[in-house]
Amino acid sequence: MAAVVEQRSIDVVPDDERHGTPVSQFTLWLGANLQVTAVVTGALAVVFGANAFWSLTGLLLGNLLGGAVMALHSAQGPRLGLPQMISSRAQFGVRGAVVPLALVIVMYIGFFASGTVLAGQAVGELTHLGDTTGIVVFAAVTGVAAAVGYRLIHVLGRVASVVCALAFLYLGARLLERVDLAVLLHDRSFSFPLFLLAVSLSASWQLAFGPYVADYSRYLPRHTSTRATFWWTLSGSVLGSQWSMTFGALAAAAAPAAFVGHEVSYLVSLGGTGLIASALYFVIALGKLTINVLNTYGGFMSLVTSVSGFRGRRTLTPHGRAAYITGIMLAGTAVALLGKDSFLTSFKDFLLFLLTFFTPWSAINLVDYYLISKERYDIPALSDPTGRYGAWNGRALTVYVAGVLAQFPFLATHFYTGPLVAPLGGADISWLVGLAVPAALYWTVTRNDTGRVAPAPAADPGGSPTAAPTAAPAPAPAADAATAPVTAADSGDSPTAPPAPRP
């Protein structure tokens, strides 16, 4: 059983436990995005006023922009062998990282809840037990899968990428039998605010993966190509999300009354009745299971990271692991049950408001990792409040708060609209401000702070980076080598270069 259930949490994955290829990132993120919540996200662009043509264009642009940021985070996993959010300690301090972490945990619970609402409908129909029972059953299955951990998550991604792709091909063909695509795309009147809404919806979808994407690449071998990890992650996530969102936008444009508020039943009605309907309910539940397990697992990692910053423990017992995951599951289930009757409006506002808090974190993390630290972190210091990164980094936290506040004049949600939204024609550009302002501020205040940058490791005779030599006469074991400062193995291995011919 120990070989099946993952034993690690926020501790470094040693080299002798690394496995897999970057292709695993493609199947995981393709499967995670071929699901009904992404369909709803695409539909929202049309529901809130954009025509189908510019909705699809805006959604694609947002997926590419947000997906590029998300994939840059994914490329950190093989280098560090750590969950994504623990690397935030290098920017905010061992304890200061709890500020973005607390918001990340709220995000995971929110996404768990929104996904469980839709999956609960499918499970309820499949079992004839109703939505409430379906939500509870689905949540329990999600918790068990998250407790098993990393390997099962990737298996789910591979299965979902095939099964859900086949289902979406079938549903897409059925949709095109009912509608005239040329008619749907004929209206090309352009509204800049509505176009930006479509961009923001898909960009926020992708950016929301940033705080946990490296959790699922951290077991890849240390010298995995950075650009391969980047491109396989980007390709899977953009293809899956754009496919789902395109279907949602076209469905909402073709039959707004039948689709909006009845997303799951509409999808199933396209396919047919009887066994086909049951199979589609299963596919919807499978797609949601994949992404909900990611949300539960990521919430677990973030919660442990938050607590360990103050308690100092980097390992968990199996019972402790189960307790954390159960807590995330129960919180998400409670939110799902309370909010299931006002899902669509609440989800749109939740998704867009998330950008306010996660774009500054993303900007700071990427600037620090790629430009300031040059892909090198002092891994032991990430758990030492008295070490290189300290307990609290006031400058980074100040930049983070400034990045959040800078967005409010440009923010447009159901419950708050900034004063600069109207002069821009109603367009919400807050997420662009949230990326640019903290990135520039953080680079300005930290570019000369060499004391926080880990030294470059010495190169071994074969040319690969190793830990700096110590006074000990014997070589360090593999697990200890994994805790040394790390860097990219090959110079010029830029994530913006074309993908390598091999995975």
- Report the DSSP beta bridge partners of residue 349: none
252 in Cβ contact with 259 (< 8 Å): yes
Whether residue 250 is predicted with pLDDT greater than 90 in this model: the reply is yes
Q: Residue holding tokens 């972190």? A: 377
State yes or no: pLDDT of 458 exceeds 80. no
Buried b (16+ CB within 10 A) or exposed e, 263-278: bbbbbbbbbeeeeebe
| pLDDT of residue 409 exceeding 80 | yes
Task: Provide the terminal-to-terminal Cα distance of the chain, rounded to the nearest Å.
Answer: 31
Longest Cα–Cα distance in the chain: 75
Is the pLDDT reported for residue 219 higher than 90?
yes
The first and second tokens of residue 82, run together, are 């750590």
Q: Identify the pLDDT of residue 258.
A: 76
User: Is the CB of residue 9 less than 8 Å from the CB of residue 304?
Assistant: yes
Q: What is the pLDDT of residue 342?
A: 63
3-state DSSP helix/strand/coil % of the chain, to nearest 5: 70, 0, 30
Percent of the chain clearing pLDDT 90 (strictly above): 48
214 pLDDT exceeds 70?
A: yes
Residue with tokens 């945990």: 105
| 73 in Cβ contact with 282 (< 8 Å) | no
Average confidence (pLDDT) over 335-351 = 68
Q: Of 50, 71, 32, 37, give the one whose Cα is nearest residue 245.
A: 37
pLDDT > 50? residue 492: no
Q: What is the pLDDT of residues 93-103, one digit of tens each?
A: 999 999 998 88
Query: Which pLDDT belongs to residue 246?
Result: 96
Calculate mean pLDDT across residues 341-360: 69
Backbone CA torsion sign across 138, 139, 145, 148 = negative
User: Cβ of 499: how many Cβ atoms within 10 Å?
Assistant: 17
Ranges 236-245, 271-280, 319-328, 337-346: which has the least confidence: 337-346
Nearest to 84 by CA among 92, 75, 93: 75
R_g (Cα) of the chain, nearest Å = 22
Mean pLDDT along residues 244-261:
86
Give me the torsion for CA of 164, 168, 174, 177, rounded to 10°.
-170
Q: What is the pLDDT of residue 243?
A: 97
Q: Report the DSSP beta bridge partners of residue 465.
A: 459
When mean pLDDT is compared across 161-170, 233-242, 343-352, 441-450, the lowest value belongs to 343-352
Question: What secondary structure, in 3-state letters, does 275-324 show?
Answer: HHHHHHHHHHHHHHHHHHHHHHHHHHHHHHHHHHHHHCCCCCCHHHHHHH
pLDDT band at 466 (very low <50, low <70, confident <90, very high): very low
Report residue 60 as tokens: 């694609």
Structure tokens at 255: 């039959």
Backbone angles phi, psi at 333, to 5 degrees: -65, -40
Cα separation, 380 vs 228, in Å, equals 27
Q: What is the mean pLDDT of the chain?
A: 84
Element (H, E) at 29: helix 23-33
**Above 70 in pLDDT, residue 481?**
no
CA distance 428 to 301: 32
C-alpha to C-alpha distances, 118 to 41, 134, 201, 380, 498, nearest whole angstrom: 13, 10, 18, 42, 37
Find the range with the poorest average confidence among 81-85, 134-138, 203-207, 483-487. Answer: 483-487
User: What is the torsional sign of CA 470, 372, 222, 15?
Assistant: positive
Residue 377 dihedral angles phi and psi, to the nearest 5°: -130, 145
Phi, psi angle pair for 465, to nearest 5°: -70, 140
What is the average pLDDT across 229-241?
97
